[in-house]
Structure 1
Amino acid sequence: MTDTAAAPEATTTETGVGKHLGWALVLISIAQLMVVLDASIANIALPFIGADLNINDANLTWIVTGYALAFGGLLLLGGRLGDLYGRRRIFMIGLATFAIASFIGGLAQNEAMLLASRGLQGLGAALASPAALALITTTFPAGPARNRAFAVYAAMSGAGAAVGLILGGWLTGLDPVLGLEGWRLTFLINVPIGLVAAFLAPRFLAESESRPGLLDVPGAITGTLGLLGLVYGFSRAGEEAHGWGDPWTIASLAAGVVLLAAFALVESRVEHPLLPVRVFANRTRATSFLVMMLVPAAMFAMFYFLSLFIQLVVGYSPLHTGFAFLPFSVGIVIGAGVSSNLVNRIDPRFIAGVGTIMAAVALFGFSRLEVPTGAADLLALGQNGHLGADVNYWSSILPYILLMSVGMGAVFVPLTLTAVHHLRPEDSGIGSGVLNTMQQVGGALGLAILSTVSLRAASGTKDGLVEQLTGQGVPGDAARQLAFLGSFTEGATAAFLVGAVLIAIGSLATWTFLNVKHEELATDGPEVVHAGV
């Protein structure tokens, strides 16, 4: 009996899949980092891309929005395709698609070619990312090994935005390489990484059982279009030029809600749904999904507002700004590593609960940033070029970046574990897709809400500052520019405060509803139902 039971594991190890878990994790982590950082790596390059390809400001935003739309809208479908057709196969297809799209984008000669490549990149990311998370669940045994793997995955997910800012700033600033402008390198760098990772995947990753022919096509159509509607609507609502009252914003959000309602109706009636209701039946898992929507909503907005604040108000260059976020990458790695060890001995509720409190305190700290915004101070700003002397990075910004990053590491690891724990093997891909979708939708929603808060807070001070400055003899355009910087600070600090509230809500949900013992996370056995749950 013992020898027979051990035979499958011996076979797996003989193929090399079980023997090289470290290399398997390297492949998965590289893929996740590549997917996440590509959401921010192109941001710094946008002005250079616009100048080279003659893209106007309105369409320039689609370089970012197009990727976010395809990625967020197709995640559920990508997760389910992994369950049905093999997670390793879909992982490889996603990486290859991402690499090819990056090649097209790096050599783009016009606006249409570049925007098409960004959409194709989003498709590749939506295929690879859920498969990567599901492959951790199926490749690494429950317990310390899987916890450590999730820690690395969470660190890559959280640090990707900061790494993207640094890498984007560095590559964009390079002189032409082989006749290629620096911004093109932000795309082309993905090509060898993606192709090599796809090529090595069969050597280090085992394939899951495939179930072809069970794809829920009506669910895939309504679910994908519904998510596209929501992500686009939220993204548009967060833009100053449009906002919540814009007809296209309203139409997009309304269409998204209607399509998702149709999706829910379809899922309740088909035999093999794209998103089985049982994925949400576990209270701990549902809580994990909710908190993993609220926390990234605040974190992504923090990156957006703080990076603008550091550049516009403190006066850092784009590359200097990227390095200002480098401690975030270090902190989240530390937080993830510590929490992966603690989760073997402490229930996830306490680790994630403390992490959310740390993040909320950090955002509250950012909301207390004090920058003089009176007319006299703004006149001095115009003479000095920035307010660097009034904002000390080391004492006013760095401590909160570190607190936020360590807190995020303490949140992502246990909640990623609880979000996919006790899922049926055939649901691992879609469960991972739901988790990624919550993060993407949460990020878009958070940025929209906090942008609205910021704009309203800023508008209350901008007009008054313009009037004061023009009254002191400052020309109209210069007065409006200086008033924008002063009012932006008011808006950003208001957004940070609301972000702290969002994470506080997530913290309350964590402490109240997350109910799984650390002993359960060390097993792949059937779900344990606690009395009174």
Structure 2
Amino acid sequence: MRRSPWSTLTVLALAQFMVVLDVTIVNVALPDLQTDLGFSADNLQWVVSAYTLVFGGFLLLGGRAADLLGRRRLFVAGLVVFGLASLAGGLADSQGALIAIRAVQGLGGAMLSPAALSILTVTFPPGRDRNIALGVWGGLAGLGGTLGVVAGGFLVDGASWRWVFFVNVPVAIALVVIAPMIVTESKVEPEGGRRTFDALGALLATTGVLALIFGVIRAEPLGWSDPEVLGSLGAAVVLLAGFVWAEARSAAPLVPLRMFRSRSLSGSTVQLGLNGAAFLSMFFLAAIFLQQVRGASAIETGVQFLPMGFAAIAGATIASTLVTRIGTRPVHLAGAVMSVIGLLLLTTAGATGSYALELLPGFLLFGFGIMWIGVPGQISAVSEVDHNDAGAASGLVSAGYQVGGVLGLAIVNTLSTSLANSRLAEGADPQTALVDAFHRGILVAAAFAAVNIGLAFVVRQRVADAEELAEAVPV
């Protein structure tokens, strides 16, 4: 049976849609989760961070395993893990159980997401079709992020927070059934026929990232000079340095160090990490701000986010076309500028005031801009990668985005929470303290986006060749 690459893209994009949706759909449910399961303000971020941390920590291993075991096989296995964890999440009855289940969900995402991106990379050759496919991939990811808060609002208000987990189950089942019929299997045959997965590298990378995030999170209640914080950050440095040492000596490294000789791949990983930091931080802060400060219901919160999703779709579509005409650098630069301006506009929002004037312009510009960073970043990242390294490269890029997101969220939440506590100690009313904390957090997110402006001048420019341009521009 002939398998269409565009049918393959549909299956892969739907899976990625579900994974991204699960990051944001939970944000709308956070206030209800906090009340029902008794989360403190400090611990609440672990509902988001446990997922993204494990997701980011195991993406490198997931990408390498996809190359060696079979990309479709790992994709389907990841769907199974993700679906079962979603079912368990809806049944969770304690803080610890929910956080642990979110970590397992992250593991499922770390299996299926790099496998999906590497399948896409080997399915579409470089050029116009791959750029379109990556644009669709990015657009649906943006739509998933926004529809997540809309769907979450309806589910939380109409049923309960448990349904933000249950909703994944039928989607996962459907994809598990149809994937073998549509997606072609592919894998790398290692030299000598021996498959190894660099367990040491995976352990060092994951624990190093965990120690780093934990140290940043604990800095808010304990202070940066506390021995626990310094010990955690010091351990992170040692573990991540050990990861580099192990990769240089491994016969089958998790991330072959030769890949870092690609300026496109290295620069894009940082570029997407900064984008993830700005995006995840904004979503977390805005979801709580709209509900706890402005008094919006979960459904109203989701609807207010919806224009940003449509802007992301439009941004991805236009960006995927522009990179074939003017190259990746100008698109990246324009996207970073739009993201910064969009976030700065959000700092004008107060506890009361017009949504159309204070929030909507920022949401639209930020949603449009982040896709002008994401699409050229994805295209540049895989532009110089051999098919044999497709899984490892996609794992590295996705890990950069996820780890950047969770680290950015930890920094933003630490700084915004400390300001809120300081304002309350000074005698400010809770609403004023939360508004000030929201403004500070958004400014820090804008700083992440601003670094991407400078990075645009460092990453390598990629422009389509004459043949690609002839295909992309209608005669």
- Using structure 1 for the length normalisation, give the TM-score: 0.81
Residue of structure 2 equivalent to 1:311: 291
State which of 276, 279, 285 in structure 1 corresponds to 2:259. 279
Partner of 1:367: 347
Whole-Å Cα distance in 2 between the matches of residues 502 and 60 of structure 1?
23
Q: What letter is aligned with 2:400?
A: M
Once residues 397 and 49 of structure 2 are traced to their aligned partners in structure 1, the CA distance between those partners, rounded to angstroms, is 20
Where 1:208 maps in the other structure, the secondary structure is coil
Question: Corresponding residue for 2:308?
Answer: 328
- Whether 2:200 is the aligned partner of 1:218: answer yes
User: 1: distance between equivalents of 2:357 and 2:65?
Assistant: 48
State whether residues 331 and 406 of structure 1, in contact with CA within 8 Å, keep that contact through their aligned partners in structure 2: yes
Query: CA offsets per residue over residues 400-433 of structure 1, 9 Å max, x none?
Result: 1111111112111111110111111121111111
Opposite residue 488 of structure 1, the aligned amino acid is L
Pick one of 155, 178, 201 that aligns with 1:171. 155
2-side partners of 1:190 and 1:447: how far apart? Answer: 24
Question: Do the aligned residues in 2 keep the contact of 1:243 with 1:452 (CA within 8 Å)?
Answer: no
CA gap of 1:201–1:248, structure 2 versus 1, over 3 A, is farther
Partner Cα distance (1:518, 1:161) in 2: 29
1:398 to partner: Cα distance: 0.5
In the alignment, which residue of structure 2 is the partner of 1:207?
A: 185
Shift of 1:165: 1.8
The residue number in structure 1 matching 2:472 is none
Q: How far did residue 155 of structure 1 move?
A: 1.9
Closer, same or farther: CA 96–521 of 1 in aligned 2, 3 Å: farther
Post-superposition shift, 1:143?
Answer: 2.0
Q: Separation in 1 of the partners of 2:90 and 2:137?
A: 27
* Contact residue 271 and residue 373 of structure 2 kept, 8 A: no
Q: In the TM superposition, what are the counterparts of 1:118-197 in structure 2 within 5 Å?
A: 118-175=102-159, 182-197=160-175
Alpha-carbon distance in structure 2 between the residues aligned to 1:244 and 1:198: 46
In structure 1, what is the equivalent of residue 2 of structure 2? 16
**3-state SS of the aligned residue for 1:422?**
coil
Task: Indicate yes or no: 2:230 matched with 1:230.
Answer: no
Q: Deviations over 1:440-466 (max 9, x none)?
A: 1211222233334434555665444x2
Q: Tell me how far apart the structure 2 counterparts of residues 110 and 400 of structure 1 sit (CA, whole Å).
A: 36
Measure, in 2, the Cα distance between the counterparts of 1:224 and 1:487.
35
Q: How does 1:89-104 map to 2 (within 5 A)?
A: 89-104=73-88
Q: What value does the CA root-mean-square deviation take over the aligned residues? A: 2.5
Deviation, 1:484, is 2.6
Answer yes or no: is 1:400 the counterpart of 2:346: no
Query: What amino acid is aligned across from residue 410 of structure 1 in structure 2?
Result: W
Task: Supply the distance in 1 between the matched residues of 2:218 and 2:174 (Cα, whole angstroms).
Answer: 36
Deviation at 1:257, TM superposition (A): 1.9
Kindly provide the CA deviation profile for residues 238-269 of structure 1, in whole angstroms up to 9, marking residues without a partner as x. Answer: xx545645554433332222111111111111
The answer to whether residue 29 in structure 2 is matched with residue 45 in structure 1 is: yes
CA, structure 1 residues 196+233, in 2 after alignment: closer, same or farther (shift >3 Å)?
farther
1:427 is aligned, of 389, 403, 406, to: 389
Q: What's the counterpart of residue 384 of structure 1? A: none
Residues 336 and 449 in structure 2, CA contact (< 8 A), matched pair in contact too: yes
Contact 1:151 1:337 in 2 (8 A): yes
Residue 474 (structure 1) aligns with: none
* 1:439-450 equivalence runs, <5 A: 439-450=401-412
Q: Is the 8 A contact 1:343 1:351 kept in 2?
A: yes
SS at match of 1:325: helix
Give 1:64 deviation, angstroms: 2.9
Residue 513 (structure 1) aligns with: 459
Match of 2:24, SS state, is coil
Summarize the Cα distance change of 1:463–1:56 in structure 2 as closer, same or farther, 3 Å threshold: closer
Q: Quote the offset at 1:37 in angstroms.
A: 1.9
Contact 1:86 1:207 in 2 (8 A): yes
Q: Is the 8 A contact 1:421 1:521 kept in 2?
A: no
In structure 2, C-alpha distance between the alignment counterparts of 1:303 and 1:161, rounded to whole Å? 9
Distance 2:209 2:299 in 1: 34
Deviation at 1:135, TM superposition (A): 1.2
Gaps of 5+ in 1: 1-14, 176-181, 372-386, 467-479, 524-533
Matches within 5 A, 1:64-103: 64-103=48-87
2:280 corresponds to 1:300: yes
Code of the residue aligned with 2:321 in structure 1: it is N
CA–CA distance in structure 2, aligned partners of residues 63 and 258 of structure 1:
27
CA contact (8 A) 1:458 1:491 kept: yes
Q: How far does the alpha carbon of each residue in 1:311-361 deviate from its partner, in whole angstroms, 9 at most, with x for none? A: 233332222112111011100000000111112212110111111111111
Amino acid at match of 2:205: G
Task: Supply the AA of the counterpart residue of 1:38.
Answer: D
Larger Rg: 1
1:383 corresponding residue in structure 2: none
The separation in 2 between residues aligned to 1:502 and 1:85, in whole angstroms, is 36
- The equivalent residue for 1:490 is 436
Tell me by how many angstroms 1:78 deviates. 0.8
**CA 1:40–1:513: 2 relative to 1, 3 Å:** closer
C-alpha spacing 1:521/1:57, structure 2 compared with 1 (3 Å): farther
The Cα of 1:47 is off from its aligned counterpart by 4.9
- In the alignment, does 2:176 pair up with 1:198? yes
Cα distance, 1:302–1:275 mapped onto 2, change above 3 Å: same
**Cα 1:520/1:231, change in 2 over 3 Å:** farther
Q: Quote the Cα distance in structure 2 between the aligned partners of 1:109 and 1:309.
A: 26
Contact 2:28/2:301 (8 A) holds in 1: no
Distance in 1, Cα, partners of 2:296 & 2:35: 22
Give aligned-pair identity as a percent: 37
Report the counterpart of residue 473 of structure 2 in structure 1.
Answer: none
Q: Flag the 1:101–1:461 CA change in 2: closer, same or farther, 3 A.
A: closer
* One-letter code aligned to 1:345: R
Letter matched to residue 234 of structure 2 = A
More off after superposition, 346-355 vs 160-169: 160-169
Distance 1:409 1:183 in 2: 29
**2:15/2:175 contact within 8 Å kept:** yes
Pair 1:47–1:358, CA change in 2 (3 A):
closer
